[in-house]
Amino acid sequence: MSALDSRVYPRGLYVHLPFCPAICTYCDFAVERYSSIRSQLYLNALEKEFITRTPEISKDARFAPETIFLGGGTPSAFNLDEMTRFFEILSSSVDTTAAKEFTIEANPGTVDAAKLELLLKHGVNRISFGVQSFQPHLLKILGRVHGADQGPEAVRLARAAGFRNIAIDLMHGLPQQSRDDLRRDLDDAIGIGVDHISAYGLIYEDGTPIKTAVERGLLA
């Protein structure tokens, strides 16, 4: 990216953190299974990228985006030490205090009170949980690592920690998903009191285990 005119400098920042506890059956994103060694290598590269790029983006002042989004992958797959180092890297190159909305994507099975407290400490004010479904049989088909009860529990923990903006993702168009399944998912999502629901249809991407299973007649 070349130096940009100050009138059109980016007002948002997306940081990709590609590690997941496991790779879901429908996923074709740029992700890989979490390992501490790979995480450290990635953080090293990310630090160099920030040092190189942020002066180009905002050459006359410190880069101060209005929105920040940490996506993946599963950013919450990082342990506390890795997450602490990430925020040190981020804050050394970016003024995060100007962000009106600072979001992190999270898997319900990868958060606890200590991790949520750390996120709030570093200015994250919105958390988006990849719940996908509250139905055990659908979570199994999707290859999700969390159980049906962990979605509501993650929302409860986030609320108790102090998050006031909580979102969840739901999926529809899943193999073996009935309209009653979807209705129950929507009722459960509304019932736990989240602030935003994203509901999106499954895309059967080439090369994913779920599409292969459908092509072989193992799933309808």
- From the list 133, 137, 145, 141, the residue with the least C-alpha distance to 211 is 141
In tens, the pLDDT along 8-57 reads 667 899 999 999 999 999 999 999 999 999 999 999 999 999 999 888 88
Of the pLDDT bands very low, low, confident and very high (cuts 50, 70, 90), residue 1 is very low
In tens, the pLDDT along 206-215 reads 999 999 999 9
Q: Name all domains of the chain by residue range, CATH numbers in brackets.
A: 10-215 (3.20.20.70)
Of the pLDDT bands very low, low, confident and very high (cuts 50, 70, 90), residue 67 is very high
Distance of CA 180 to CAs 136, 177, 217, Å? 14, 8, 24
Q: What is the dihedral of CA 143, 149, 153, 155, to 10 degrees?
A: 60
In tens, the pLDDT along 104-118 reads 999 999 999 999 999
User: What average pLDDT does the structure give for the chain?
Assistant: 93
Residue 38 phi, psi dihedral angles, 5° rounding: -65, -35
pLDDT > 90: percent of the chain: 89
